[in-house]
Structure 1
Amino acid sequence: MVRSRAQAARLRLMIPGNPEPSEAEWQALGQAHWRGDPLADAVIDWMQAEGMDRTWPRLEAALAQGLSAVDPQDHALRAYLQATSVTPPWLDAARVRRGAEVLQTTGLHGMMVLRDAGLMAGYQASAINQTLVQTGALHGGAHKRVAETAAWWLDCTADDGMALGANGHRQTLRVRLMHALVRGRLQRSPQWDANWLGLPINQVDMQATYLAFSVVQLLGLRMTGMLISRSDADAVMHLWRWIGWLMGVEDALMCDDEATGRVLLYRNVMGQAPADHTSAQLAQALMDEPLSRPYPWAQALRGHIDRERHLSLVSWFVGAQGMRNLGLPQRAPWYPLMLLAPTAAGSLALRALPFLETPWRAVSRWQQTRFHRHMVREPLAHEAGAEVTGGAPARKR
């Protein structure tokens, strides 16, 4: 608890007022470690009972074509699609679209921030790391994990990507079922220490993922000079509340505004197990991930430059103690400091001249999709084995 509170100390400085949970709120968070996702778990139970070879094609057809493709006898699958083919009463489609547009304007830098503030910094939560470790992902490829995460994020943040039946919507439902598959596998594993870890991929873990993609990325963007209005930040929060809802995160564990999200993040971090040896193992693998990127030219040089850029960003986000927690070499924050002035100037230009946003967003989105196209080219040989449950399926942090 003391070490977890220390990890949350930097975040505490960014929250006005008192974010400390009441005794009842603390107890509720503890109980959430024992709740999973019954709706998705029922689908996996049905698939395993009927045989994965027989049911997987039916699942894929259902995700592609909707309820019309579901056999009336496949009750669990029908219930899953019925529940996720409607929108909750609080959903505002215009805010969802705006949230996606805001993230599109962040360009390649936004994806770097998500990787280093969300995924890398998140490895300090050692209990969550156990999902990756015990499914063999630690010995697979960080490159593949990042590429799959980027692919899912791009689908979710596309124009109308989270509309019912769109790519982001379908991929999110697929990711949710992969979480359930991993949850069931780990529950049956004698290596899983439930007394310490709670339920595999429990509601607190799922909340952490939701917060990493929303609150953590917004914080990281602000820390590198990006000026985001409250309405735009809250639109991003609304987008991820919708995605989190589809992912099976209980609505009581989410929110619609960044200020409340920071409080939820602070409490989540305090409730996580502190960094351990798995934090260093995962972080060091991700540190070297740029060396495996299939750049179209000057691969070795660009890989080492990007490795240093990421280390500089991570140092800025987590501080000296965080770098020690992650077993990473400390770097001066030269890269984020170099970005502060031009990033802030660009943000001010968009506010002062709103007609610039459309072309700016088009160029920024091109940067994001181009980066991903390079990522999915054949990686270097030592990354080729990549993990079964990396990135989106197992732990998107």
Structure 2
Amino acid sequence: MDRQKVPSRHGTDRAEAERIAKPLLWLIRDRKAAVPDEQQWQRMGEALMVGDPVADDLAKWVRGEGGGKAFSQFKKILDSGNFDQKDMAPPLRAFFDAIKQPPAWVDWERLERGARASAISGQTGMRVLRDLGLMAGYQARGINQTLIMTGALERGATRRVAETTKWWLDCITPGGLNRDAEGFKTTLRVRLIHAMVRQQLLDSPDWDASEWGLPVNQLDMQATYLAFSVSFLFGQKLMGTLISRQDSEDIMHLWRYIGWLMGVDESLLCESEQEGRIALYQNVISQATADENSRKLGRALMDEPLGRRYPNFGKIRGRWERQVHLSMTRLFVGGKGMEALGLPKLTLPWYPAVFAPLNAAWTTGHRILPGGRNRLMRQGRKAQRNQLQTLFGEDHPEITSGVQFG
């Protein structure tokens, strides 16, 4: 690829991005390896111009000659689990041929262990995904561009959080990535929807590829994959959850496979948590930093807890959760990050200061007692399901455009 085709957003705010990413360096053993050399930096910039070819071809067919029933045909094949049906259109066959055989590195026992380990922290893990993975991620204005142009603000933060949470829980349910399971099927539906969004925005005169690269490009997809894996683990540990090295590596393996299903190139997927930390650091320092859209998204997500479906004391619980999330965000992004996201600058990280030591004692005690780890997982899974009920209430919407993986 021509070096001049690297979008202008790549590394445009590197000094500020390095300040944001600096805490990650504390967790990287080989800090020299974290600094990308010239060739790595170039490849990262080029990844901004790469989409998901097999899904892109299918999206073009669905939006064009496939006609109005094309997406329904895709869903019917996906739901059937039979990816070798006769008379499939070439784009459909190419897509299902690409995903029907998992990579040789996939270890199904590790996937199951990773799914179970994801429940250990219960609601704390969900809060981390929201406040570190999503809210802190709004500081990357390049990724935000797709959200803004596809109406993320108009749909509402509550709906987006609920639908993303539903997809996440489907993926981390034991067996959730089997071919007949909801996590597997929803991941592939969202992959196609992202390709359709990519085509739609590229057709728009308002999309400037020379500045932003492709919508939902490879580097931005990697950033979100790392948010669900590396950031998820890092944030839980900051909040006092005791996670063993084996649990961490199994969760990384789980998300390596989910990332592969979602269309992230294998060269951007990480085998270990340490490798993932390096990849996340490099990705963050390449991102253009916050702008006014970051603040709009941040303020909308700040008020998201006020719209949840609490079974009782809704207003009080909504205000409490709003303050808890702001306090956690303050820990994760610091004072400058709060300002960049349009959040109250005087917020203190009071909740982590109180909760993390108690949580550390709680999880350590369960680890010591016989059967304690299994109890943590059972209690955590129950808390996660209850939280999903709070987000959705009595609604059961189709999980489609709400999940943003990139």
User: In which range does the TM-score fall when normalised by the shorter chain?
Assistant: over 0.9
Secondary structure in 2 matching 1:372: helix
Q: TM-score, normalised by structure 2?
A: 0.92
The answer to whether the 8 Å contact 2:118/2:251 transfers is yes
Q: TM-score, normalised by structure 1?
A: 0.94
- Gaps in structure 1 of 5+ consecutive residues: 380-385
| 374, 382, 387: which one aligns with 1:366 | 382
Aligned: 1:203 with 2:218: yes
- Residue 35 of structure 1 and its aligned partner are, at CA, apart by 0.6
| 153, 159, 169: which one aligns with 1:154 | 169
Counterpart for residue 41 of structure 2:
26
| 80, 83, 91: which one aligns with 2:95 | 80
The answer to whether the 8 Å contact 2:148/2:293 transfers is yes
- Residue 349 of structure 1 and its aligned partner are, at CA, apart by 2.2
* Cα distance in 2, alignment partners of residues 209 and 326 from structure 1: 18
* Cα distance in 1, alignment partners of residues 327 and 88 from structure 2: 55
* Cα distance in 1, alignment partners of residues 297 and 401 from structure 2: 12
Counterpart for residue 17 of structure 2:
4
Counterpart for residue 241 of structure 1:
256
| 377, 391, 394: which one aligns with 2:402 | 391
Kindly provide the CA deviation profile for residues 342-390 of structure 1, in whole angstroms up to 9, marking residues without a partner as x: 21112212332351222321121111111111211269xxxxxx9x975
Which shows bigger deviation, 50-59 or 171-180?
50-59
Secondary structure in 2 matching 1:104: coil
The answer to whether the 8 Å contact 2:135/2:329 transfers is yes
What amino acid maps onto 1:96 in structure 2? L
- Residue 391 of structure 1 and its aligned partner are, at CA, apart by 3.4
Aligned: 1:345 with 2:361: yes
The answer to whether the 8 Å contact 1:110/1:221 transfers is yes
* Cα distance in 1, alignment partners of residues 265 and 370 from structure 2: 36
Distance 1:144 1:213, change over 3 A: same
What amino acid maps onto 2:28 in structure 1? I
Kindly provide the CA deviation profile for residues 126-166 of structure 1, in whole angstroms up to 9, marking residues without a partner as x: 01000011112222210000000010001000011112332
Aligned: 1:333 with 2:344: no
The answer to whether the 8 Å contact 2:221/2:405 transfers is no
Secondary structure in 1 matching 2:28: coil
- Residue 70 of structure 1 and its aligned partner are, at CA, apart by 4.4
* Cα distance in 2, alignment partners of residues 278 and 233 from structure 1: 34
- Gaps in structure 2 of 5+ consecutive residues: 1-13
Kindly provide the CA deviation profile for residues 169-193 of structure 1, in whole angstroms up to 9, marking residues without a partner as x: 1111111011101101111111111
Aligned: 1:127 with 2:138: no
| 216, 226, 229: which one aligns with 2:231 | 216
Q: How many equivalent pairs are there?
A: 389
Secondary structure in 1 matching 2:68: helix
What amino acid maps onto 1:7 in structure 2? I
* Cα distance in 2, alignment partners of residues 89 and 68 from structure 1: 19
The answer to whether the 8 Å contact 2:35/2:282 transfers is yes
Counterpart for residue 357 of structure 1:
373
| 254, 261, 274: which one aligns with 2:276 | 261
1:39-54 aligned within 5 A: 39-54=54-69
* Cα distance in 1, alignment partners of residues 305 and 199 from structure 2: 33
Kindly provide the CA deviation profile for residues 70-105 of structure 1, in whole angstroms up to 9, marking residues without a partner as x: 452411112211221211000111111111111111
